[in-house]
Structures are given as C-alpha cells and as structure tokens.
Amino acid sequence: MSVAEAPVEARVGAQVETGEPMSARILRFVTKTPVYFVLAFIGLLWLVPTLGLFFTSLLEPAAIGTTGWWEVITSPSLATIDNYREILDNEAITSSLWTTLWIALGATILPIAVASLAAYAFAWLEFPGRDWLFIIVVALLVVPIQMALIPIFSLYNDLGLFDTIPGLVLFHTAFGLPFAIFLLRNFFIGIPRDLLEAARIDGASEFRIFFRVIIPLGLPAIASLAIFQFLWVWNDLLVALTFARDTQPITVAIFSQMRQFSANIELIAPAAFISLAIPLVVFFLFQRYFVQGLLAGSVK
C-alpha cells in the first residue's frame, strides 16, 4: 500500500496537461466551483475546533468564562500571551512536558532498536520454529493494553517501577513491539538477497550485516515507525494515567485539572495547545512518512 502515494501525484500532474483550450478550462472550473465551496466549508468546519482551543488559550483570564473565543477575532485587545507565560512558569507543567519528551523518546528508540534486531532474525536468519514464532509475535497485536494493566500495576509496585519514566518506557516498548516487528520484517525481507549474500561471502558477521546493510536500507521504514511510535506515546493517556502519579506526562497533568474544567480553562487551554502543537510540528515535518506508515499500518 505504501506505493499508493505515487499514483496520486502522477494523476494530479496529469490533470495539469496543457494543450486544452482556455474556454474548456474555464468551463471546467465553473462546473467545479460548487465542489470547491463545499470543500472550503468542510475544511473550515474541521479547522474551527482547534482554532477555538487556540483562541481560548489567548483570552485573558478575566475574559474566560464570560467571552466567547471568537470575540478575539473582532477585538484583538482581548488576546494576551499571559496564559502561556503562566504555564511556562508553572513548575508542574514544564516538568511534565520534559517527562513526556523523555518517555516519548525512550519509547521510540528502544522498541525500534529491539524490533529491528528481531525483524532481521525473522527475515534473514535461519532457526527452527522461526515462522511459528513470528506468527505468535504478530498475533500479540490482538492483546488490548487493558489486559496488562492490573498485573503490571502490581509488578511495578513490587519492583519500584511505578511512577517512573523507565516503567512507562518499558510498557510502551513491549506493546509497540508486535507491530514494529511486523512492519520491519516485511520491509527487511524486501531487501535484495544478493546484498546480504555478498556480505556473508565476504565474511561479514551477522551483526555487521545488520548495522551496515539492513539498518541503512531499512531507514524509510524505520522513520515511519519512529514517527508513529513517538506520536503514539506522546499522545498516550491510558498507560500514563495508570502507572504515573507524580512523574506525570502532560496529558495526565492536564487531565488532573479537568475536574474543575471551567475554573481551570486558563491553564487547561494553553497546556492542551502546547501538548498538541508538538505532535502537529512532527506531523507537518514528516507528513510523508506519516501517511506511508498509516497506509501500511491500516493493513495490519
């Protein structure tokens, strides 16, 4: 499915073909105008909720609760960055942002490292029961996170991993593995066999082949996976809500303010906006990989 993007571009290109009389082009534009309007309207509809959060986060505290966010557009004097200043002075929020970052980075790097090793073994090493083991690993995709929460909660309390960054990283890593292995193994197996054979004949060890051949060639798949995993972990609420108390990622920090939603909007709105701005930046920077990964992932 990951090749599907190319035809889209090719087709868009094909439509621009010239040689067609101007009148025909104008006619086509006119007949398509309603479609443009409908799409512009839907696009606006889709944009408004996020804009609403953003403008609400700009309202001065006195205005929150009495003024709708849309009034900022007509009277910009209502807007202030004080809420953001408050947030960034707020020790609890800043430390939870760092916590989120460490968890997300750790839980992206670790599963990719572990999964590429396993994926290589499943793709190119020979050992008994290989195919069965691969099927079992992929089958673990079925297991909902909920199945692990209670026993791991008890285990973490015994091991002292409760409310720690490593505890959260390890949990996310384990649950990220089946999909990561599935994706990478299918990508690695497409690497031309000759490349590996040549390296083996030259006497390269499996580790050398792994680091010098597989990883460089597997980078596109690894990049897709990394973006997905990063966003997944950054955006997580369930796991963090269960295993974190004081070492809170940002989602949990905001969530704990939501009991008094209306009273805390001046804190919730900017914090929520910061927490979603980072994934948005990642998304815009790596859109291409994101869509590829999505198309691959939807086949799982």
Partner 1 sequence: MSESASTVEAPPRGLPPGDHEPGLFQRYGVALIFLAPTLVLLGVWVVYPTIRTIIRSFYDRDGDEFIGLDNYETLFTDDTLVTAIKNNFLWLLIVPAFVTAIGLVFAVLLERIRFSVAFKVVVFMPMAISLFAAGVIWRLMYEKDPSQGTINAGIAVVKDAVSPSGVLSAAQPSTEALQGGPEGGLVLQKPLAPGDVAQLGLTGIRSSDVPADAEQAVVPEALAGGITGVVWRDFKPGGGVPGQVEEEELGLPGITVELRDEDGRTITETQTETDGTFAFEDVEAGPYLAAIGPDTFSEPYAGVSWLGASLITPAIMMAYVWVWAGFAMVVIAAGLAAIPRDLLEAARTDGATEWQVFRRVTVPLLAPVLTVVFVTMLIYVLKVFDIVISVAPGSVQDDANVIALAMWRTSFGGVNDFGLGAAIAVFLFLLVIPILVLNVRRFRREI
Task: Tell the smallest beta-carbon distance from residue 116 to partner 1 (Å).
Answer: 9
- The answer to whether 251 touches 103, Cβ cutoff 8 Å, is no
d(CA 130, CA 127): 6
Q: Which is nearer to partner 1, 98 or 153 (CB)?
A: 153
Q: What are phi and psi of 286, to 5 degrees?
A: -120, 30
Q: Please report how close the Cβ of residue 95 comes to partner 1 at its closest, in angstroms.
A: 19
Residue 96 burial class via C-beta count within 10 angstroms: exposed 0-12, middle 13-18, buried 19 and up: buried
Residue of the chain from 108, 120, 222, 266 that contacts partner 1 (CB under 8 A)? 120
For the segment 51-90, give every residue that binds partner 1 (CB under 8 A): 52-53, 56, 65-70
Determine which residue in the list 101, 105, 109, 295 makes contact with partner 1, applying CB under 8 A.
295
Is 179 among the residues that bind partner 1 (CB under 8 A)?
no
- Stretch of 72-80, 82-90, 101-109, 234-242 contacting partner 1, by CB under 8 A: 234-242
Stretch in the footprint of partner 1 (CB under 8 A) among 29-37, 74-82, 85-93, 101-109: 29-37
Size of the site for partner 1 (CB under 8 A): 118
Interface pick for partner 1 out of 192, 212, 287, 288 (rule CB under 8 A): 287
Binding mask 92-111 for partner 1 (x = CB under 8 A): --------------------
241, exposed or middle or buried, with CB in 10 Å at 0-12, 13-18, 19+?
Answer: middle
- Give the binding range for partner 1 (CB under 8 A) out of 80-88, 91-99, 101-109, 169-177: 169-177
Segment lying near partner 1 (by CB under 8 A), choices 5-13, 80-88, 89-97, 101-109: 5-13
Tell me if residue 236 falls in helix, strand or coil.
coil
Nearest Cα residue to 220 out of 186, 258, 252:
186
Q: Which of residues 238-267 bind partner 1 (CB under 8 A)?
A: 238, 241-242, 251, 254-255, 258-259, 261, 265
Binders of partner 1 among residues 122 to 161 (CB under 8 A) are 124-128, 130-131, 133-135, 137-153, 155
Instruction: For partner 1, give the closer residue by CB, 93 or 254.
Output: 254
Token pair, residue 179, equals 């999909």
Apex 42 CA angle, 79 and 36, nearest 5: 115
Torsion of CA 140, 143, 144, 147, to 10 degrees: -130
* Smaller CB separation from partner 1, 80 or 257: 257
Q: How far is the CB of 196 from partner 1 (least distance, A)?
A: 7
| H-state helical runs in the chain | 5-15, 22-58, 71-74, 82-89, 91-124, 130-139, 146-159, 165-188, 193-201, 206-209, 215-234, 238-243, 250-255, 265-285, 287-297
